Chain A
Amino acid sequence: MEHRIIDQQLNRLRDKILLLGGATEAAVNRAMQSLTNRDSDLAKRVLEEDKIINQMELEIDRMSIEILALQQPAAHDLRFVISVAKITPILERIADHASNIAEAALILNDEPQLKNYVDFPIMAQTAAEMLRAALDAFTAEDADISREVIKRDKEIDASYHRVFNELLEMMIDNPSATTSAAHLLFVAKHLERIGDYVKDICELNVYLREAAFIKHSSIQ
């Protein structure tokens, strides 16, 4: 039977989370651009649009609960709704990190530029690529790609440690740069966290496809 009532609702849910994913991706990219291009208007836009993302989260929550209550999905349908319900707040948190980066950019853009942001764009690009790949893998329900993306989290972690050490040295060499360097340190931490969240999304993609819990797999 092609036209189940639940199909319409599941399709709407899929559309919504893909919109949320797109908005989150844009927020991360814009936040980093606002920092590297010293574009405070763009930073403000990220902060403004975070409200829309929060709104989307609420709407997806409501739709997911409604489908669970009224349609009582089972099997793949159930795993889909559960995955969406769990991925949504992760996306919202990624967007929060983007907002935090934008806030840091607003402060840093008023200060003289500390250094050329070489590592940051690479780190941000890795995070953005991972996020895009995770969302594509969710759409395609591709567990293999999801597992590949999970491995890439190590790249972001490595960048983070590089940036961390570099900024630390900068603070020691030039104490007047400490405030700016501290803000940059937080930006690096936000990017590192985004990598972790993308990993969580990929773990849910694997659950959606295979009904397997790979999170905390060392304790299972």
Chain B
Amino acid sequence: MESKISISNLDFFYGKAQALFDITLEIPERQIVAFIGPSGCGKSTFLRTLNRMNDTIPIASVTGTVMIDGEDIYKAGTDVVALRRKVGMVFQKSNPFPKSIFDNVAYGIRINGIHTSKADLAARVQKALADAALWDEVKDRLTTSAFGLSGGQQQRLCIARALAVQPEVILMDEPASALDPIATQKIEELVVELKREYTIVIVTHNMQQAARVSDKTAFFMLGKLIEYNPTQKMFTNPDEKLTEDYITGRFG
């Protein structure tokens, strides 16, 4: 399996406080990798190093390398906007813009100037909504406000918005934690479906969710990568005692 993202010896600091310690990890192309671990273990921080979202924190600093398709994304001169187009992100809380459903999805296409015509824009919006399994539910109300959608629909809209700019990697930070079981199931089915075209990294507190959707699972604790293995191995016979203790609920 070819690596889409290669992380080597990554350290991360908030000022003087070190939050990630010497992380080395390969993320294979068109696979789903889940990051699990207790709150504060660094899994979200690590996720955000993969598209330099931590750049927005003034005191943050990174050492080590993150290579995507063989390019070091932290090297000087990296186009961070292009990077974030290539590595899209979906957050825990759905955050649609105060705009119509159509304009939410069209936003990224417009500011990046991806479309060639009005018809092309409409086609791209439709494809993104269809890929996010939302099209059938919203096709008759595209001009209405995104806030009229349910929580689950809003989250799928955010996924459509991420897909619209044709990313290659999608980072998801607890994408279903605020949703009911049915909406959660839809998101999970969608994530598995998206694997055909995208490389997906998902942070989740829900261990069963990691077990259900991911190909590989990484377990973090106190800023360190404890174990990284195929998900079925991780949940039936983990190598590390700490992993076993965590996934079987032996510590909080």
Contacts and interface: CB of A to CB of B under 8 A. Distances in A.
Contacts of A79: 236-237
Contacts of B168: none
Interface stretch (B58-66, B92-100, B241-249): B241-249
A211 B251 contact: no
Contacts of A78: 235-236
Contacts of A77: 248
Interface stretch (A45-53, A68-76, A126-134): A68-76
B236 A74 contact: yes
Contact of B249 (A1, A76, A211): A1
Most chain-A CB neighbours within 10 Å: which of B207, B208, B247?
A: B247
Contact of A73 (B238, B243, B248, B252): B248
Nearest to A78: B236
B250 interface: yes
A1 B247 contact: no
A141 to B, nearest CB: 14
Nearest to A75: B244
Interface residues of A, number: 12
A73 B235 CA distance: 9
Nearest to A211: B237
A73 B208 CA distance: 10
A1 B237 contact: no
A6 B249 contact: yes
B251 A1 contact: yes
A75 B236 contact: yes
A202 B249 CA distance: 28
Interface in A1-42: 1, 4, 6
Interface string A60-97: 00000000000011111111000000000000000000
Interface of A: 1, 4, 6, 72-79, 211
Interface of B: 207-208, 211, 235-238, 243-244, 247-252
